[in-house]
Structure 1
Amino acid sequence: MQITVTDAASHWFQEELALKPGEAVRFFGKVYGQTAVHDGFSLGMERAEVSQPIGQVEKDGITYFASDSDAWFFADYDLAIDYDAQLDEPKYAFPKH
């Protein structure tokens, strides 16, 4: 699994979560909601220590990752994170790999 984060998205996460270099953001599947690839599940995120990553990328000193406990959610997909300026929030895409 590959994770990509645009410059604008990285800036949003740093501002909104008051992240400092060396910290990390974990992405995970959660019950309720919908994504382009999952009905009944949405994407959650939280500040966390990197643990058992199945995919990770470092941008601006921040590590963005998904752990093996969420391999079911990301199976067959990568995670592309961009920023939606109109909504002032991240937007997520799940390209097949």
Structure 2
Amino acid sequence: MKITVSPAAQKWYQNNLELKPGDGLHFYGKVYGRTNVHFGFSLAFVKQKPQHPYYQAVYQEISYYFDEDDIWFFTGYDLQIDYDADYDGPTYTFVDEEPE
């Protein structure tokens, strides 16, 4: 259960959400929608400083994380976040979790 964020996606978040060092993006699963591995649930995020993250990846002093309440959504998967220039936004791909 890890999150990787490409440099292009990091730049998009910083520019569009005005992220500064110390800020965070809390990712979580929400009802309705779908991902490439979830039906009936989609990925959502909110700009929020982490309090007690279960997992976090820090890039340029910005935390990309999920909490213990969100484990159910991420169990067994790694989340890869990239940027799509045609769409001008981030893309989210869940892949089978890599053993550590």
Place the TM-score, normalised by the shorter chain, in its bin: over 0.9
Q: Does 1:26 align with 2:26?
A: yes
Alignment-derived partner of residue 5 in structure 2: 5
Q: Which residue of 2 aligns with 1:47?
A: 47
The superposition leaves residues 5-37 of structure 1 with CA deviations (integer Å, 9 ceiling, x where unpaired) of 100000000011111111000100001111011
> How far apart, CA to CA, are the structure 2 residues paired with 1:48 and 1:78?
21
- The Cα of 1:2 is off from its aligned counterpart by 1.1
Deviation at residue 56 of structure 1 after TM alignment: 1.0
Q: One-letter code of the match for 2:89?
A: E
Aligned-partner Cα distance in 2 for 1:25–1:96 = 22
| Cα distance in 1, alignment partners of residues 88 and 27 from structure 2 | 19
| Residue aligning to 1:14 | 14
- DSSP 3-state at the match of 1:41: strand
Q: How far off is 1:61 after superposition?
A: 1.5
Q: How many Å apart are 1:77 and its aligned residue?
A: 0.6
Rounded to whole Å, the distance in 1 between the matches of 2:40 and 2:52 is 25
- Letter in structure 1 aligned against 2:9: A
Equivalent in the alignment of 2:38: 38
Taking structure 2 as the reference length, the TM-score comes to 0.92
SS in 2 for 1:63: strand
CA distance in 2, matches of 1:40, 1:50: 27
- Percentage of identical aligned residues: 47
Name stretches of at least 5 consecutive residues in structure 2 with no aligned partner. Answer: none
1:64: which partner in 2? 64
- For 2:49 and 2:80, locate their aligned partners in 1 and report how far apart those are by CA, in whole Å: 21
